[in-house]
Amino acid sequence: MLPDKKEEPVTKETVERLCVLADLPLPPARRDALVAPLSGLIAAANELSRKMAEGGRRSVLPITRFPER
C-alpha cells in the first residue's frame, strides 16, 4: 500500500512543468487559473490511485470495452 501522506498542493510551478511535458503552451494567466481546480482533482485521483494500488486489487484489469454479458 502506498503511504497515505497529505497531498502536496498543485502549484504554479507544477502546472508549468506539466504543460511543458504535455507540449501544451498556455499563457501564464491560464496556467495560474488551473492551479486551484487541478489541486482538487489530482488529490481525489491520487486517493483513488492509492485504493486501487492496494495488494488485494493487483489482479484487477481496466475496463475500456464492456463484455457483452
Partner 1 sequence: MARDDLLNLTIAQAAPRLERRELSPVELTEAMLQRIAAVNRRLNAYITVCEPQAREVARATEQIIRAGYYLGPLHGIPIALKDNIYTRGIRTTAGAKILADFVPGEDATVAARLKRAGAIIVGKTNMHEFAWGGTTDNPHYGTCRNPWNPERFPAGSSGGSGAAVAARTCLGALGTDTGGSIRLPSSVNGIVGIRPTIGRVSNHNVVPLAWTMDTVSPMTRTVEDCVTMFEVIAGYDPFDPHSAQVPLADYRAELGRGVRGLRIGLIRDYSLTHVQKAVGEAVRGAVKTLEAEGARVEEIAMPSIHGNISAQLTIESCEPSAYHQEWLRTRPGDYGEDVRTLLEMGELYLATHYIQAQRYRSVLRREFLEGFKQVDVFVTPTLPFTATPCGATEVVIENNQKEDMLSAIMQFTGVPSLAGLPALSLPVGFDPDGLPVGMQVIGRPFDEAGLFRLGHAYQAVTSWHTKSPAL
Where on the chain is the footprint of partner 1 (CB under 8 A)? 15, 18-19, 22, 24-26, 30, 33-34, 37-38, 40-42, 44-49, 51-53, 57, 60-69
CB of 17 to partner 1, least distance (A): 10
> What is the residue whose three cell numbers read 512543468?
17
| Secondary structure string (H, E, C) spanning 28-53 | HHHHHHHHHHHHHHHHHHHHHHHHHC
CB of 3 to partner 1, least distance (A): 16
CB of 6 to partner 1, least distance (A): 17
4: number of CA atoms within 13 Å, CB side?
4
